[in-house]
Structure 1
Amino acid sequence: MSATSQEPDSRPAGPARRDVLMLGAGAAVGAVAVGGGWALAERDDGDEKAEAKAPSVEADTPPAPDLQRFVSTQLVAPRASTWRKEGAALSAGLLLTCCRTPSFRGLIYDDAGQPVWIEPDGNAGIDLRVQTYRGRPVLTYWTGLVLEGLGFGKGVLLDEQYQVVAEVRAGNGILSDFHEFKLTDQGTALVTAYPVMPFDLSPIDGPAEGWIFGACVQEIDVETGEVLFDWDGMEHIDLTETHRKREEGEGESQEKPFDPVHLNSVVRDGDAYLLSARHTSTVYRVDRSGEILWRLGGERSDFEVPEEGRFGWQHDAQRQPDGTITIYDNHDNATETDSVSAALRFEVDEEARTATLVQALRHEDRYGYAMGNAQYLPDGHVVVGWGMDPIVTEFDESGEAVFELRDLALGSYRAYRHEWTGRPRTSPDLAIGPDGSAHVSWNGATEVARWRLRQQGGAVVATVDRSGFETAIPLDGAGGRLVAEALSRSGQVLGRSRAVTV
């Protein structure tokens, strides 16, 4: 399976895959079914720190997250908390997460730790963020079946009304994995895929007729679904580059493949691609022909990496506008039990083949042995999602921690800060609580400043400021048929609930 590459404005037919097998929904590769959702277990061998600090995902019942419940809706969200340095200025925008509860859910929080949008259908939602498509902001995420450390599904684009703009599926006989769903300025999407395929594992003392999860990248035209670039990493990455040890039985059957590479991010990098592979602890730069231009880190690094910049089992390799390369270093290769994860920034001299560490962001003992990312914002702030450590930290331009969103259930695959305006097509939700008050909410609405409660077609009962995801309004003896109206800062009516009888 060779890489195929076409410029985004051409539409050649992609080659058919004939030597790739996908696992059916009934073939759970070490998956743990918990509470109706699929738990993600991205564990690796030889890590005492993971045993000491991370919640077990192999147990029958993982720790139950503290969920916030409401009166006006059945939606639930992890009860997050926040910390803010006194007097600190924060970047603009909301915080986008995909909390694991134990299945992943897309959730937007404000700076007070209150939910703004909760994925309403109960679908798995991973890598929730705001991207641009056709010049307009869209909310994007991956959804599908989540197994142990990987998934089979599709990418989704939503407009400001939370209506589906497009869905993106991998082509040529494979299904997209949840680790990446990145839109480009060319109207394309980058996805990863882990097809199950036969492979000779004898170089690592495995069976010659073995089985692996592949390491594929595709660039897909969002509008047409055409595959414009199709890269099979196992044609270019040597099996001996893997840092992962085979567990008993791994690679011996189609039902239990070995995962030697584990791609977890891909972005366009000029006329090439920048890829991160967790199980080789390597960042790869790949050209449009599919050839590897260089390796940063790992067993075959083309760069001299300083000792203080050594990274392992990393995620989220990005090229920044100033040319530096940033990485979220899980640091899961340490045998000691005091590992700390970090957001690392390197100046890379591609001619001299040197990498200079220019910044390392850590905070206290934050350690996410799996998942995680680092978002570098235009104002110099950096938002770090610590993955399995269920915390998001914002650093200011000097590298000082100024804000944290905490208690995100069992962790979040990635976390971002984005400006987002949500104008849902749904109506606000109104219900009368056991306390005798009216409770009103509007999932995803970002412009509500006040709530007005009135008798249907009649007098105003009360007008109060919005207070978190759900606002309680005392009735003070009012009865009859009541309607709640969402008001903007200027007093414009943005939406009305259905009438509720008191």
Structure 2
Amino acid sequence: MLLILSVWRRVFKTSLIISIILFSFTNSFAQTYNQTLFTYISPKPNSTNNSPANNIIISVNQDLNIGSIYSCSLIIATGNNGGIVSGRIIVKRRTILFIPDNDFLPGDEITVDFSEFGRLLGDYSNQNYFRFSVSEKVNLLTDVVIDEIYRDEIGNGNSLDAVGDSLPVNYPVVSIEKYDDPADGNLFLGIFGGTQYPSLLILENTGNPLFYLETKSDSYDFKKQPNGWLTYFDSDMNKYYALNSNYELVDSFYCGNGFKTDIHELLLLSNNHIYLLGLDPQIIDMSQLVPGGKEDAMVIGFIIQELDENKNVIFQWRSLDYISVLDAAQQVNLTAQVIDYIHTNSVCVDFDGNLIISSRNLNEITKINRQTGELIWRLGGKGNQFSFVNEEYDFYRQHDARRLQNGNILFFDNGNYHIPQFSRAVEYNLDETNFVATKVWEHRNKPDYYTGAMGSARRLSNGNTLINWCRAGFVTEVRGDGSIALELKFQSDYYSYRVFKEEWETTLFTPWLDTLDFGEVYINQSLTKSVVIQSNSEKEITLTGVYNNSKEFSVSTNFPLTIPSFGQTSINVIFSPVETGQFSDTLNIRSDSDSSIVNSQVFASGIGTLLSNADEINIISTY
């Protein structure tokens, strides 16, 4: 395959007239290719200010013969300077990637000629090539700029309060305000509100912790992925980390092509592909676009990347290629030095494989063609294409837009510019042919809750909706009729960016039996049973105690108790009913430290009965 990369250095940078002539020339001759055969190209033809570390992606409308492609010669050459740009080719089913050995130089104009690739696929009539330019400015995202991007959403936060002796001293205080038959599952939260004690939490509906880990930096988007891993974003390391069910670090994820990874989204797909968001800062002369604009304004674009199973970038979408800075919401200051004009905060893979994104600073939800990168539709904001039915409010600064199984769109409307301010979860049915959005459901708390940033809304398998009110300090599980099944309250000024509900069970240490059935036991007597605890770790595990709610069940084993590597130990559980009736409880077997909790559970049940002739029956048994 002949793939020629030609590089023209920009010589004329000082003369406005010459720059305009060069720009016009570049656009007149920058691309010609068979757009039916070649369905997707990245960087986008004619695009400017691309990352020097970018790869080149070319996708086609047919499966590729990998052997034929690799049997062709690959020629990469610069233009006027005549130097060779070396790199490597990776062939996917319908995509080829060119990954340069070294970054392109800032300010370069790149031409990619792939005419022989076209001929290999049967296109003998076209010259296939395109051009793009590389940004002259690099390494723009200083800590100050990053703080500017996230300050309005995340804030500066506060430290956490301490709690009682049974939990680590820095454990965040959470209370259950309402409990009325909530959906099964466990709550996943990434707690922050300051830099002193951020943490990851998995809670039962009762508030009981199954997992707690104090983290060194603020951690966001803590959730269970479809493959069973737990992932979260580490703000100090600027990447996502993955833990297995033993809470062992197994992988990390971050953007390719030189982009800084954004905090808002990580999707792990069933084919082992990955979706991430990234930041794309560019210096733009805003004085040419708005009165009072800065000549050297830093405009923050967003990128979406799909990485394959080997973490190669196989799809990249840049907001600045498709959505104008002038489409920013009215409340975005376009005369500022740093302009966070789009602030994309969620990505959802639609049923048809295309992408649905939420962009906070556009007040917009957008559908993107995954095959071409082009916009399919725009809902809300200046670019809105829909008419609204059964709706009296616009939505503002929204988060967490998701396609539901019923085909509707659900998201969290922060409602910054509602009068008066209120937040809500809202669901729309979209007629995507006639561009009509009909509101079919919403939930507003009574009285209203309001959070100006963050938040989430997730439809659960039983039809309930889990709403994270974030800065308002509450998490609510609500039924379709508006009644509350569960409400959790944070006791201090801290919060979680999103909240999820999933089934969860650790494998770090596990009981041989998940249920202890004591059967019938006479009142005022007792029965003891043992449960074996298996370690699945190569490290020693120290069990620190067993916690439960019912006085009928207790433990006679002394703690702490050490389990050797992949070893076993046993715990003696006693059932001692003092009245008749059926009793049950969950025994929480814990391994605690000053900064963590790991919890495994055993369900215990028994029946208290009356004794007719206690002198003749031996009622104490040990197993």
The residue aligned with 1:238 is: 324
Q: Distance in 2 between matches of 1:373 and 1:354?
A: 24
Aligned-residue offset at 1:67: 3.1
Question: Could you tell me how far 1:398 is from its partner in structure 2?
Answer: 3.0
Query: Per-residue deviation at 1:317?
Result: 0.9
Determine whether 1:265 maps to 2:346: yes
Deviation of residue 314 (structure 1)?
0.4
Residue type matched to 1:181 in 2? L
Deviation larger for 286-295 or 303-312: 303-312
SS in 2 for 1:378: coil
Q: Deviations over 1:346-395 (max 9, x none)?
A: 10001111000000012122111100111111210110111222211001
- The 3 A distance-change label for structure 1 pair 470 and 70 is farther
Q: Separation in 2 of the partners of 1:367 and 1:5? A: 45
Distance in 2 (alpha carbons) for counterparts of 1:322 and 1:89: 24
8 A contact 1:276–1:283 mirrored in 2: yes
Would you say the 8 A contact 2:399–2:454 is kept in 1?
yes
CA RMSD of aligned residues (A): 3.6
Offset from partner CA, 1:248-269 (integer Å, 9 cap, x none): 9832xxxxx2101100001112
Aligned to 1:66: 161
Note if 1:93 corresponds to 2:198: no
Please state whether the residue corresponding to 2:558 is helix, strand or coil.
Answer: strand
Relative distance call for 1:211 and 1:440 in structure 2 (3 A) is: same
Q: Closer, same or farther in 2 for the Cα pair 1:304/1:248, shift >3 Å?
A: closer
| Alignment deviations for residues 19-60 of structure 1 (CA, whole Å, 9 cap, x no partner) | 2634566x323739xxxxxx96325xxxxxxxxxxxx946xx
Does the C-alpha gap of structure 1 residues 259 and 407 become closer, same or farther in structure 2, counting only changes over 3 Å? same
Cα distance in 2, alignment partners of residues 71 and 279 from structure 1: 43
Deviation at 1:183, TM superposition (A): 1.8
| Matched AA of 1:268 | V
Q: Partner of 1:347 in structure 2? A: 429
SS in structure 1 at match of 2:310: coil
For 1:23 and 1:451, locate their aligned partners in 2 and report how far apart those are by CA, in whole Å.
Answer: 59
Q: 1:63 to 1:460 in 2, by over 3 A?
A: closer
Q: 1:162 to 1:13 in 2, by over 3 A?
A: farther
| Cα separation, partners in 2 of 1:114 and 1:238, compared to 1, 3 Å | same
The 1:229–1:427 alpha-carbon spacing in structure 2 relative to 1, beyond 3 Å, is same
Q: 1:385-396, aligned counterparts within 5 Å? A: 385-396=468-479
1:175 aligns with 2:260: yes
Matches within 5 A, 1:219-230: 219-221=306-308, 223-230=309-316
Is residue 2:43 matched to residue 1:2?
Answer: yes
Which amino acid in 2 is paired with 1:327? F
Distance in 2 (alpha carbons) for counterparts of 1:381 and 1:460: 38
Residue type at the aligned position of 1:191:
L
Structure 1 unmatched ranges of 5 or more: 33-38, 44-55, 146-151, 252-256, 432-438, 442-448, 473-484, 492-502
Whether 2:219 is the aligned partner of 1:111: answer no
Q: Whole-Å Cα distance in 1 between the matches of residues 603 and 570 of structure 2?
A: 21
Name which of structure 1's ranges 348-357 and 380-389 shifts more when overlaid on structure 2.
380-389
SS at match of 2:383: coil
Q: How does 1:353-368 map to 2 (within 5 A)?
A: 353-364=435-446, 365-368=448-451
> For residues 490 and 11 of structure 1, what CA distance do their matches in structure 2 show?
57
Instruction: Answer whether contact 1:374 1:382 (CA < 8 A) is retained.
Output: yes
| 2:152 aligned with 1:42 | yes
Q: 1:13, CA displacement in angstroms?
A: 3.5
Residue 498 of structure 2 aligns to a residue whose secondary structure is strand
Question: Do the aligned partners of 2:586 and 2:604 also contact (CA within 8 Å) in 1?
Answer: no
Contact 1:115/1:469 (CA < 8 Å) preserved in 2? no
Q: Distance in 2 between matches of 1:460 and 1:319?
A: 46
Where does residue 50 of structure 2 map in the other structure? none
2:129 corresponds in structure 1 to none
Which residue of 1 is the match for residue 500 of structure 2? 416
Once residues 357 and 5 of structure 1 are traced to their aligned partners in structure 2, the CA distance between those partners, rounded to angstroms, is 40
Cα 1:452/1:278, change in 2 over 3 Å? farther
**SS of corresponding position for 2:235:** strand
- Once the two structures are TM-superposed, the CA of residue 291 in structure 1 deviates from its matched residue by 1.1
Show the counterpart of 2:131.
none
> Compared with structure 1, are the counterparts of its residues 469 and 312 closer, same or farther at alpha carbon in structure 2 (3 Å cutoff)?
farther
Instruction: Provide the residue aligned with 1:188 in structure 2.
Output: 273
Query: What is aligned with 1:318?
Result: 402
Choose which of 476, 479, 486 in structure 2 pairs with 1:403. Answer: 486
Of the structure 1 ranges 345-354 and 234-243, higher mean CA displacement relative to structure 2 is found in 234-243
For the pair shown, the structure with the greater C-alpha radius of gyration is 2
Quote how far apart the aligned CAs of 1:71 are: 6.0
Matches within 5 A, 1:353-502: 353-364=435-446, 365-407=448-490, 409=492, 410-424=494-508, 425=537, 429=542, 453-454=557-558, 488-489=602-603
Check whether the contact 1:244–1:260 (CA below 8 A) recurs between aligned residues. Answer: no
Q: Which residue of 1 aligns with 2:616?
A: none
Give the count of matched residue pairs. Answer: 424
Q: Distance in 1 between matches of 2:305 and 2:570?
A: 58
The structure 2 residue matched to 1:21, chosen from 134, 138, 143, is: 138
| Larger relative contact order, structure 1 or 2 (CA cutoff 8 Å, min sep 6) | 1
Per-residue displacement from partner, 1:107-140 (whole Å, max 9, x unpaired)?
112222232212244343211111113xxx1212
Q: As a proportion of its length, which structure holds more helix? A: 2
Shift of 1:159: 1.4
TM-score (norm: length of structure 1): 0.75
Aligned residue among 382, 387, 393 for 1:299: 382
Q: CA deviation at 1:195?
A: 2.7
Write the distance in 2 (CA, Å) between the matches of 1:278 and 1:196: 17
Distance 1:459 1:330 in 2: 50
The percent of aligned pairs where both chains have the same amino acid is: 24
Kept in 1, the 8 Å contact 2:286–2:335? The answer is no
Residue 489 of structure 1, CA deviation:
4.1
Report the CA distance between 1:70 and its aligned residue.
4.4
Q: 3-state SS of the aligned residue for 1:21?
A: coil
**Which among 215, 223, 228 is matched to residue 129 of structure 1?**
223
User: Secondary structure of 1:29's partner?
Assistant: helix
